[in-house]
Amino acid sequence: MNLHEYQGKEILASYGVAIQRGVVAQTPEEAVAAAKKITDETGSGWHVIKAQIHAGGRGKGGGVKIAKNLEEVSSIANQIIGMQLITPQTPPEGKPVHQVLIAEDVYYPGASEISEFYVSVLLNRSTGKNMIMYSTEGGMDIETVAEETPHLIFTEEIDPATGMMPFQARKIAFNLGLSGQAFKGMIKFISALYTAYDKSDSSLFEINPVLKTSDDKILAVDAKVSIDDNALFRHKDYIALRDIREENPIEVEAGEVGLNYVDLDGNVGCMVNGAGLAMATMDLIKQTGGDPANFLDVGGTADAARVETAFRLILKDPNVKAILVNIFGGIVRCDRVAQGIVDAYKNLGDAINVPIIVRLQGTNADIAKELIDSSGLNVLSATAFQEAADKIQQAIK
């Protein structure tokens, strides 16, 4: 589950990670009230107004702006709230902004320099350890840094069994070129950040930038936080942080009816039972020159109602040019699935406007094929994997 910046920062702060202070606002009036409150608490007269969407690169898209006074807070908030924000990480049409974070300006000038760092915490699946990835090149695309100056990205692996060792935090602060107060601040920051990652059961923290202020404070200016869905049962208070407006509406609907659906960019809809067969089916579609429009595991009980729901979901994607149903009847009988497909087709009527290729293998596959072939519907049956692939290829041509 991905969080908004302001929510991620609240979690960080609850574990003692220093953050840029901020208050979320839904309207320009709330934004002004928030700015006043922050000024009262911090003395900072300048504020940064930040669009809250589940995508990075907001600065580049005009979703992060500085306000020098309350009039500017109001006018900038008015401009950003309700805008369709396009960034390198949003879909081409952008994402609507429903709320903004008003935060204290922490880039104030001073005697010594300001520095921006990159710090992320994630799981390295190949070593089974947590990993802190960090760089002196904060504030810009880490992908670009990785491509152009990979030697400026460091990693530190942490054994989850022992947790982070004090020398590891010191090493990170040292590699970031810090000294004095900032060195100490970074050690505290990294230690608290790792604790927050561990205790919140997150799967990703990406803090870009981590700022060293001109008075040598270390704080999180941005926060991308993803909580591991499988651990949400341990964090009942996080469930309310979900913002389904940010999620794919077809995926949200599928989740509500217990279907595993992942939206993809292609043109061939897939309805498969079992995640392994679903992956193999997507490979097959790719090999025939098609492109899967989705991943969909209908699970063990592919009955008529479920099949119909699955068809409805797949057809919501306007890019779908054909649907491949690939079901193995091990627990479920193929003839029941076939009947489900025929019934669903009849119920959906005109909603089905693309050819459907059905491959049913396993228990009663022959009866199932018979049922499909004699249905008189725009449904083609296939027995072999390759036959299904060929029929898909013809269908999308």
Beta pairing partners, 262: 295
Element at 246 (helix H, strand E): none
Question: Are residues 302 and 273 in contact, defined by beta-carbon separation less than 8 angstroms?
Answer: yes
Min dist. Cβ of residue 135 to ligand GDP (A): 14
Min dist. Cβ of residue 197 to Mn ion (A): 17
Min dist. Cβ of residue 105 to ligand GDP (A): 4
Task: Please identify which residue in the block is written with the tokens 């669903």.
Answer: 344
Q: Which residue among the candidates 6, 118, 194, 197 is catalytic per the annotation?
A: 118
Window 177-216: residues binding Mn ion (CB under 5 A): 208
Which residue among 116, 156, 222, 335 contacts Mn ion (CB under 5 A)?
A: 222
- The separation between the first and the last C-alpha atoms of the chain, rounded to the nearest angstrom, is 38
- As a residue count, the chain comes to 397
Question: Are residues 164 and 152 in contact, defined by beta-carbon separation less than 8 angstroms?
Answer: no
Min dist. Cβ of residue 306 to ligand GDP (A): 40
Residue 58 partner contact from ligand GDP, Mn ion, none using kind-dependent CB cut-offs of 5 to 8 Å: ligand GDP
> For 395, what's the count of Cα atoms within 13 Å in the CB-facing half-sphere?
28
Token pair for 370: 């018979």
Residue 105 partner contact from ligand GDP, Mn ion, none using kind-dependent CB cut-offs of 5 to 8 Å: ligand GDP
Of the pair 77, 211, the CB lying nearest Mn ion is at: 211
Residue 200 to residue 323: CA distance in whole angstroms: 40
Element at 150 (helix H, strand E): none
Residue 221 partner contact from ligand GDP, Mn ion, none using kind-dependent CB cut-offs of 5 to 8 Å: ligand GDP
Min dist. Cβ of residue 125 to Mn ion (A): 24
Of the pair 32, 100, the CB lying nearest Mn ion is at: 100
Q: Check if 345 is active-site.
A: no
Token pair for 52: 């809250």
Using CB under 6 A as the binding rule, whether residue 121 contacts ligand GDP is answered as no
Residue 139 partner contact from Mn ion, ligand GDP, none using kind-dependent CB cut-offs of 5 to 8 Å: ligand GDP
Min dist. Cβ of residue 107 to ligand GDP (A): 3
Using CB under 6 A as the binding rule, whether residue 201 contacts ligand GDP is answered as no
Of the pair 220, 388, the CB lying nearest Mn ion is at: 220
Helix (H, G, I), strand (E, B) or coil at 48: strand
Window 26-55: residues binding ligand GDP (CB under 6 A): 48, 50
Using CB under 6 A as the binding rule, whether residue 106 contacts ligand GDP is answered as yes
Distances from the Cα of 251 to the Cαs of 97, 290, 294, in angstroms? Answer: 20, 22, 10
Using CB under 6 A as the binding rule, whether residue 222 contacts ligand GDP is answered as yes
Q: Which residue among the candidates 116, 156, 206, 308 is catalytic per the annotation?
A: 206
Q: Check if 206 is active-site.
A: yes
The DSSP code for 247 is S
DSSP track, 155-219: EEEE-TTT---HHHHHHHHHHTT--HHHHHHHHHHHHHHHHHHHHTTEEEEEEEEEEE-TT--EE
Distinct helix (H) and strand (E) counts, the chain? 12, 18
Question: Which residues in this chain contact ligand GDP in the complex, by CB under 6 A?
Answer: 20, 48, 50, 56-59, 64, 66, 105-107, 139, 208-209, 221-222
Q: Which residues are catalytic?
A: 118, 206
Residues that bind Mn ion (CB under 5 A): 208, 222
